[in-house]
Amino acid sequence: MSILWYFLFPLVFLNFNFKKASIREQIVRYVFGFVYAFIAFYLVNVDRSLSFVLSNLKWIAIFQLIFTVVAGLEMRGNTLVTRHGYKMKWPAIVFTALFLGSVFYSSMPQIYGGTKKLYNMAGVKESNEQSPSINTENIIIIPPETAYYQMQTLIGSLPNPSLYEIGQLSLTQTKEGAYYVAPIDIDSSFRAFLNKELPGIAYVSAERLEDAKLIEIPHSYGESLVLDHNIYRKLREYKPSSILMNADVELDDDLTPYYVGTYGSYKYGRKGLVPEGVVLYNLKTGEIKEYPKDQVPTWVDQIYTTEIAEQYNIYYGKYKNGFLNSIIGKKDVQIPTYWNSGVELPGLSIESNQVVPVVGSDGQMYFFTDHTNTNADSTTMTGYTLMNTRTGETIYYKTPSLLNGQGAMNSIEKLLGAEKANWATAQPILYNIYGIDTWIVPVINKTDGSFVKLGLVTAKSRYSIVADNKLDLLEAFKKAIADGTVNNGADVKVGNDLELQEVTVEGKLVRINQSVEDGSSVFYLKLDTVPDKIFMVNKNVDADVVLARDGDTVKIKYIDMEQQEIIPVIEFTLSI
């Protein structure tokens, strides 16, 4: 049925005065219309809908006006005059009216002063409370630049590696944690004409520093493939009249990769995206299924896409008091922050520079972004939003005068010293860690994006530290909270609401085991005097831990925290 659009849409380009129009003129007009339809429906792959027609009437009206004027003029000697008996007044009035009507439709709701409707449709709830405290296991420490660097190492293992590149990165949540995932794409459109298959999917942890993995699974549809093998054209077959949004790769609970394409519609003219469901393409079986919004499988993370999250954050931040106020008065106007590490890696493609996917305290995925005032150089925020990527529920947490992401990056850069010439900060994310609003800021190599260190900055007291890994960083942070260092030199203090305290215990080793994590040796041990706790000792704490054996007497110091299953040790002494 959708093929008819290619042949029916050009009819609106014809001269409707069929008696006076010549066959030659009508053929030329129809060819123009067909080319327009081909570009729109095939190359651009837009929706085949009344909404598209109404929004494009302005271009058709301009075309008709030009042809009407050209057809109504002729040369008499050296003078260009209107043809005898040719009337242009009424066609000009009609097509001008169509043009204005189409502009009105495309500019809804701003054009009639209804911009506040966009603000309301975002449905953002405001809160003066902190967001729930995060499980530190779910903290995202790997920025997209590092994930891309790690995935690049997989290309060399493929046949004809020069043919491929890493596609757009997205974040997916699995039973094993959060992973960056990206398709292995063809590196140019020209080469894509000669290839109709892609080799697989790359993925790497976003929570731990580890090697990237490759899922070798040849598939016939992808974003880099052309013509009918393009994933968006394949999805269009299933939803011809809907708006297609981001199509990202996600992993299900068995690590089977799918393309997840959200479809929906506009609420006002061609503005205000509303998701209505998803289309899933199973890369393993080639099966494609469509699911309404309320029946989407539970493993799918993103029903609301980064595109929707960006728009809703803008609607909420700018249009509370209308369109004109967002330009002139700017009362209560706040803008989402756009992130950029300043590290340009050729080929790196991410979903958004404005919203960042994170795992919340409930284990679900959210889009995070902080808001600041309209001053581009501001280093304080007005608040931040968390949008549930499945339900769209969004909460704006008010944090006036707290340090924003750019300010956090600046704070960490000051700690880098001379290495600032070689290293850069990337993708700051705000978490509630131990009851304190805290920025986690990765530090990466400017040359290739590889992970170097991890930074932490408290948004209120602006205490900042850098460590080699997440374990050392969090232990140093807990110690700073316990001894009050977190407030040194701060105008605004943060409280030790969890009442963290240093505890020293002595006992005999009941069990000790060694493991390697993030390239460092880590020892797990149990003491007879504290049988309900498991302690973790990094070799950097004390080298004697390597010599410890079951039955040895040891003394350890740690920061006591309730409901913590594994407790890192900050001091270790072996009695020999």
Is the alpha carbon torsion for 354, 358, 360, 363 positive or negative?
positive
Quick: pLDDT tens for 440-487: 999 999 999 999 999 999 998 899 999 999 988 988 888 888 777 777
Rg of the chain over all Cα atoms, to the nearest angstrom: 30
Helix locations, 354-425, DSSP H: 405-416
State residue 344's pLDDT score: 83
Q: Are 459 and 438 in contact (CB under 8 A)?
A: yes
- Kind of pairing between the strands at 553-560 and 501-517: antiparallel
For the cut 80, the answer to whether the pLDDT of residue 576 exceeds it is no
Percent of the chain residues topping a pLDDT of 70: 92
pLDDT at 496 > cutoff 70: no
pLDDT tens for each residue of 207-228: 999 999 999 999 999 999 999 9
CA-angle at 350, arms to 345 and 355, nearest 5° = 125
User: From the centroid of its chain, how far is CA 120?
Assistant: 23
CA 9 distance to own-chain centroid: 36
Handedness of CA 40, 45, 50, 54 (dihedral sign): negative
Residues 27 and 41: their CA atoms lie apart, in Å, by 21
The reply to whether the predicted model has a pTM over 0.75 is yes
- Rounded Cα distance, 533 and 403, in Å: 36
Residue 195 pLDDT level (bands cut at 50, 70, 90): confident
Q: At a CB cut-off of 8 Å and minimum separation 6, what does 38 contact?
A: 6
Q: Using the 8-state DSSP alphabet, how is residue 553 labeled?
A: E
User: How far apart are alpha carbons 226 and 43 in whole angstroms?
Assistant: 10
Q: Of 241, 234, 157, 243, which is closest to residue 200 (Cα–Cα)? A: 157
pLDDT mean over 296-321: 94
Confidence of residue 84 (pLDDT cuts 50, 70, 90): low
At residue 77 the predicted structure's pLDDT band, cuts being 50, 70 and 90, is: low
Cβ contacts of 351 within 8 Å, gap of 6 or more: 168, 169, 170, 246, 248, 306, 357
Average pLDDT rounded to a whole number, residues 507-513: 92
Rounded to an integer, what distance in angstroms lies between the CA atom of residue 555 and that of residue 537?
12
| pLDDT at residue number 18 | 79
> Which residues, including other chains, have CB under 8 Å from residue 534's CB and lie 6 or more apart?
524, 525, 526, 565, 566, 567
- Chain mean pLDDT for the chain: 88
- Distances from the Cα of 292 to the Cα of 264, 295, 350, angstroms: 10, 5, 27
Residue 189, pLDDT score: 80
pLDDT band of 285, cuts 50, 70, 90: very high
Q: Per-residue pLDDT for 43 more than 80?
A: yes
